[in-house]
Amino acid sequence: MIGLARRHPVLVAAFTLALCAALFFAGRLVVQTVYWSQHRNEAVQPWMTIGYVGRSWGLPPREIDARADLPVPESGHPKTLQQIADERGIAVAEVIALVERTVAEMRAERAAGGGQP
Full DSSP string of 96-107: HHHHHHHHHHHH
More confident position, 17 or 110 = 17
Q: Across residues 68-72, what is the average pLDDT?
A: 88
Longest dimension (CA), the chain: 70
The residues that bridge with 9 in the sheet, in sequence order, are none
Domain spans in the chain, listed from the N-terminal domain onward = 1-38, 40-117
* pTM greater than the 0.75 cutoff: no
Supply the mean pLDDT for the chain. Answer: 90
Residue in 100, 103, 112, 114 with CA at minimum distance from that of residue 59: 103
pLDDT at 90 exceeding the cut of 90: yes
Q: In the prediction, which pLDDT does 116 show?
A: 55
Average pLDDT on 85-107 reads: 94
pLDDT at 18 over 90: yes
Which candidate, 95, 40, 31, places its Cα nearest to that of 69? 95
